[in-house]
Amino acid sequence: MRFTPNSDTVVQAMLDSIGLQNLEQLFDDIPAQVQMQRPLDLPGEMSEMELHSLLTGLAGKNKPAAEHPCFLGAGAYDSYIPAALDQLLLRSEFYTSYTPYQPEISQGILQGIFEYQTMICQLTELDVSNASLYDGASALAEACTLAAVHTRKKMVIVPETVHPEYRQVLETYAMSGYYEPVFVPCPHGIMDLEQVADLVKDQAAALVVQHPNFFGHLEPMGSVADLIHQAGGLLIMVVDPVSLAVLKPPGAWGADIAVGEGQPLGNTLSFGGPYLGFMAVTRQLMRKIPGRIVGQTTDVEGRPGFVLTLQAREQHIRRDKASSNICSNQALNAMAAAIYLTLLGPRGLKDTALRCHELAVYAQRQLEEAGFPLLYKQPFFREFVVETPDAAAINSRLLEQGIIGGLAVDQGMLLAFTEKRTRQDIDRLVAAFKGE
């Protein structure tokens, strides 16, 4: 890696102050195989007009999901966002909203968060929701920490049908020592209840179940809650919020904690962020839930108002009693979710969920007739994996035809279907799969 600093003297003085010989030593912790071993391929000096023309040309090489049928999901979905949502978010009291450091002054944003929390509780049928976390993965990791702190146990059982990136974040958080994840193989696309039952002992703090899971399948939830509760642990469910309009909610399954990614609720794909993680818990756990919680109250004159309450992070209570150091909340993303749910209402969200499922069913039948059967013969909501001999080659062919394909996984491709897709889009997808 080569550097050409403007002033060698200044740079060397800075290096001397931190005890380094050269700039390369700053990057010793980065493995050599991922370091760029050549200078950046950048043009020379350009005028503003020339630079604008260059960047416009580069941007034109993109194939944005807004302009092409997109079947890529795996946790981030190309959902339709009502026009009214963006217009409402443009209001200054919303788009400047962040963490309310002087909360009682920020009554507008506090009410917005309160409404968001209320809707998350209604979706999950659990008692308490917090203001949003960073994303679905961090929400799950925080839930595992909460479970370990509450039960005073360490083992967290995680079937490998949980999103692989969520599992990576769990492993990173586990370095804190609060909990130890134990991953359970799932060769059939759903969790192996027998293996899970063998692991669920008295030392289990929690069992994590993603439903629908990473492969889009519905897990056999049946007696899962009783299994972990009898061992003194908690049931943590990872859920797609759109699916809750038609599927049995976590609270009805006996879950203690529900988490998930709120991006499908009115938030754009945005190249992977910012997103929002949601979390809801039973009343028993409300004093340990991380992040911020907004409550409704009255002032000394009896007028209604909103305040932050029950803070579990170390800046609000003694560090030894804190269960989290989550510092921020995705207030604008949560506001988008609240507006989205308000615009659609229960009926609109159910219609959206049903359309996603019906399109997925249509696509599965068409693909199977074309010679691409399901990799796992399991019920699904809006995603599934089809067997493909070469997912990368098929995705390249799809892209040539202006279609954004699915995610390549072992032995197949994971395809997602949102309400934006049409039967015509799916027919094009199937034709491209067949090489037509």
Which domains, from first to last, does the chain contain? 1-40 (no CATH), 83-339 (3.40.640.10), 345-433 (3.90.1150.10)
Give the gyration radius of the chain's Cα atoms.
24
C-alpha to C-alpha distance for 275 and 337, rounded to whole angstroms: 10
Instruction: Tell me the two tokens of residue 301.
Output: 């004159």
Q: Is the pLDDT of residue 247 over 70?
A: yes
> What mean pLDDT, rounded, does the chain reach?
91
Mean pLDDT over 342-348 rounds to 97
Mean pLDDT over 336-343 rounds to 96
Q: Is the pLDDT of residue 316 over 80?
A: no
Mean pLDDT over 279-304 rounds to 90
Mean pLDDT over 297-314 rounds to 82
The residue assigned the tokens 């409704």 is 296
Mean pLDDT over 281-293 rounds to 89
C-alpha to C-alpha distance for 165 and 433, rounded to whole angstroms: 27
Q: Which of 250, 247, 267 is nearest to 129 (CA)?
A: 250
Question: Which residues have C-beta within 8 Å of that of residue 200, sequence separation ≥ 6?
Answer: 157, 207, 227, 228, 231, 233
Binned at pLDDT 50, 70 and 90, residue 2 comes out as very low
Instruction: Tell me the two tokens of residue 395.
Output: 């995705």
How does pLDDT run across 163-190, given as a tens digit for each residue?
Answer: 999 999 999 999 989 999 999 999 999 9
CA torsion angle for 357, 362, 368, 370 (degrees, to 10)?
A: -140
- For 9, counting Cβ atoms within 10 Å of its Cβ (0-12 exposed, 13-18 middle, 19+ buried), the class is exposed
Under DSSP, the state recorded for 38 is: S
C-alpha to C-alpha distance for 236 and 207, rounded to whole angstroms: 6
Of the candidate ranges 76-80, 146-150, 244-248, 314-318, the one whose mean pLDDT is the lowest: 314-318
Residues 279, 259 contacting (CB under 8 angstroms): yes
Binned at pLDDT 50, 70 and 90, residue 242 comes out as very high
Instruction: Tell me the two tokens of residue 99.
Output: 């963490």
Mean pLDDT over 222-242 rounds to 96
